[in-house]
Amino acid sequence: IFDALLEAGFNRDCTVLALGGGVIGDMAGFASACFQRGVYFIQVPTTLLSQVDSSVGGKTGINHPLGKNMIGAFQQPQVVLADMSQLSTLPDRELSAGLAEVIKYALLGDKEFLVWLEANMEGLIARDEQLLAEAVYRSCAHKARIVANDEKEQGERALLNLGHTFGHAIESYLGYGEWLHGEAVATGMVMAADLSHRMGWISLEDLERTKKIISRAQLPIVCPKIPLDDFLAYMAHDKKVLNGQLRLVLLQQLGKAVITRDFDVELMQQAILAHQA
């Protein structure tokens, strides 16, 4: 991207337009943040995951072999244009990956949305445009509210990482692209819910409800076998590590998440091992 911009003689009044999924949006956004110290940026997300999550909020990042999204910048787009007709061409697996992030918003902050998803999951899987538009709108509204309060992730915004600390470990170990981001986050959310249950915060019924809605979205609730030491090592690279302490996003109840470092490491290990094939 830098080569193309420089070879074409663009200057600081140019606009970088990202047309594609989350990887394209992150890469183009990072380039626009860095080129001549920042140029205009427009997001046209073409996957469900990018429409509901990565295109909104201004986080841009690229992966490193030692950790996901370790290199990046905050770069707010001037416009985000989400066109539902783009979703008609998505592979089924990509659509489901996007639903993982939709489910995330319901679990972390909106039990009514969870009930709506439970009532409409088959329609979403069938690509009903009205239902998809409603899911995208409600997801973006949730993210916008949280980001407006905490743009640079100093506090509340970290709630949006529900399932991601576990999920990023899965992605990093398996190799980027082996599992889609949404697939890893789905299993990560199950691990987070499992740990929340083991800590006595949510009931077994709530854990099973979480697993069921994720399974109905045709997403995995277990990951391939990963040596525990490797899994924990990748978790230690997480951006939510503060003063050497890992912080996790866990569920106090369905529809209410918290960021905490107050968890039992042994219980966390049990939750990880319980959801490996």
Q: Is 164 assigned a catalytic role?
A: yes
Choose the catalytic residue: 101, 104, 171, 183.
101
> Considering 168, 198, 239, 247, which one is annotated as catalytic?
168
Is residue 143 annotated as a catalytic residue, yes or no? Answer: yes
Please say whether the beta carbons of 235 and 165 come within 8 A. Answer: yes
Nearest to 180 by CA among 77, 92, 65: 92
Identified catalytic residue from 153, 211, 239, 247: 153
168 is catalytic: yes
Which has the closest alpha carbon to 144: 157, 155, 154, 161? 157
Given 11, 37, 243, 266, the catalytic residue: 37
CB atoms within 10 A of CB 95: 22
Active site residue 197: no
> What DSSP letter does each residue of the chain carry, written as one string?
-HHHHHHTT--TT-EEEEEESHHHHHHHHHHHHHGGG--EEEEEE-SHHIIIIITSSSEEEEEETTEEEEEEEE---SEE---GGGGGGS-HHHHHHHHHHHHHHHHHH-HHHHHHHHHHHHHHHTT-HHHHHHHHHHHHHHHHHHHHH-TT-SSGGGGGGTTHHHHHHHHHHH-BTTB-HHHHHHHHHHHHHHHHHHTTSS-HHHHHHHHHHHHHTT--SSB----HHHHHHHHHT-TT-BTTB--EEEEEETTEEEEES-S-HHHHHHHHHTTB-
Q: Which of 68, 104, 164, 211 is catalytic?
A: 164
Q: Which of 104, 142, 161, 211 is labelled catalytic?
A: 161
Instruction: Write down the catalytic residue from 68, 143, 197, 198.
Output: 143
Phi-psi region at 20: left, alpha or beta (left = phi > 0; alpha = psi -120 to 50): left
Catalytic residue from among 142, 181, 211, 239: 181
Catalytic residue among 138, 142, 157, 239: 157
Tokens at 168, concatenated: 């990023």
Q: Which residues are catalytic?
A: 37, 59, 101, 143, 153, 157, 161, 164, 168, 181
